[in-house]
Amino acid sequence: IAKIETFVQERAEVQRGIADHTDAAVSAALFDNNAECACSLVEDAFHGSSDATHAVLHLHRGGAPALERFDEACPGIRAKLMAALYGADVWRACFCRATDLRSFEYHHYTPGGSVADNQHRDDGSCLTISCLLQAASCGGELHTFHSDAWRCHDDLKAGDAVVFLSDKRHNVSCVEAGERHSIVMEVWENEANEWNRHK
C-alpha cells in the first residue's frame, strides 16, 4: 500500500483548472454538466450500469496531447501518481520490463454505483494505483484480495492511494449515499495506450 499525503490541496482548484484547460467532455464528466452525454463519447464509459451510477472517463484517450492538457490543469499529479506506483513495486512487477501507461481513468460513483464483480482484475496490466479524491458518505470502499482474504480499505482519506498487482482481484462496494470520486492508473508491458483499456 502506498499513501499519497497531498494529492490535491483544494479539490475546487483542480476542478477549475480542469474546466479551464481540458476539452468539454472531461469538464462535463467532472462537473456533471451533461455528464452522461460526455461519457457516451468514451468507449467503456459505463461498467454495465444502465443508469450511469458508475461513470468512467479515460483521461489518456487521445494520447500525449490529452495528457498534456491534464498536466497543465493539474501540475505534477500524473507524475506523482506514476512515481508512487513504481515506488511501491515491492513485487518487482515492472523490474527490467519496458512498461508504459495503459490507462488513466477518472471514476465517478453515485448511489447504486460499484464494481461488484468479485472476480474483477485489471488483466493485461502490471501494476495499478487507485487514488481516492472524495469518499462517499456511506459505502464505496475499495476492497483488494490478498493471501486468501479480502481487505477493506475503509480508512482511506482524500489523496490516499493503494497500489496493487493488476492481476489481483479488487472491487468497490456499492455506494449507498453521497458520491465517490477517484483516479486509477495502470501500466503495462506495451507502448503507451491512446484509446480505452482494450486498445
Q: Which amino acid is at 97?
A: R
Nearest by Cα to 104 from 172, 196, 33: 196
User: What's the pLDDT score for residue 83?
Assistant: 95
Cell matching residue 149: 482474504
Sequence-ordered strand ranges (E) for the chain: 54-58, 100-109, 127-134, 138-139, 142-146, 149-153, 161-165, 170-172, 175-177, 180-188
Distance CA 132, CA 37 (A): 24
- pLDDT value of residue 88: 96
Longest dimension (CA), the chain: 46
Number of other CB atoms surrounding residue 117 within 10 Å:
12
Query: Do 59 and 108 form a contact (C-beta atoms < 8 A)?
Result: no
Helix locations, the chain, DSSP H: 11-21, 24-31, 35-39, 64-73, 77-87
Query: CA 30 → CA 5, 24, 89, 164, 190, distances in Å?
Result: 22, 10, 30, 26, 29
Which stretches of the chain score pLDDT less than 50? Answer: 1-50
Residue 198: predicted pLDDT? 67
- Closest by CA to 193, choosing from 67, 76, 40, is 67
Residues 113-134: tens digit of each pLDDT: 999 899 999 999 999 999 998 8
pLDDT of residue 199: 62
Which pLDDT score is estimated for 125? Answer: 96
